[in-house]
Structure 1
């Protein structure tokens, strides 16, 4: 997989999508990193848990993460980390599980 297959979203695009409520933001950093500060509204799912999280039944996902599980057809599912490597890993993983509207915010 090449990074070009996983489009990135700019800060201004991200702000616009979040302001309009048209994006789901997933912080794939560790719980410790996210606890130190994250983008408001982001859901923290460490990249090490992401594959199992995205394969959970919706009720189990909601119980564990206190949020609705992303749908396969969701249009703006945006992954981010600190530097970009884990975000890229997350986009590749989600794409492999059949998620369609995947984006990466490069950190």
Structure 2
């Protein structure tokens, strides 16, 4: 496993990536959580279907999620959940599938909402 520093995205890094549009942000929470409040640009792929989703062909992925499939070497793949537990699992799944540069936003939606409320 990679050292934590390379696998974690901070709130400020996330803001920068979002503002530069240089991010593939995946929300691995349940659809009802995603609908209740989400980080802009986040695409909902619940943890339960993440592995099969990442194994899809690029064409199939695009059909289902209406966006370009993430590439194994992409360094702008970020997973998030509510508090970092599910996104950490998502990261393990992605790395096992060869997405070695994927990261996760450890603060999760709870930190995002908190920071946004400041």
TM-score w.r.t. the length of structure 1 is 0.92
Q: By percentage of residues, which structure has more helix?
A: 2
Name stretches of at least 5 consecutive residues in structure 1 with no aligned partner. Answer: none
The number of aligned residues is 107
* Secondary structure at 1:104 match in 2: strand
Partner of 2:86: 86
Q: State the distance in 2 between where 1:33 and 1:7 align.
A: 24
TM-score under structure 2 length normalisation: 0.84
Shift of 1:4: 2.5
- SS in structure 2 at match of 1:40: coil
Q: Relative to 1, partners in 2 of residues 1:2 and 1:59: Cα closer, same or farther, differing over 3 Å?
A: closer
Superposed, 1:6-45 pairs within 5 Å as 7-45=7-45
Runs of 4+ in 1 over 2 A off after TM superposition: 1-6
Tell me how large the CA RMSD over aligned residues is: 1.6
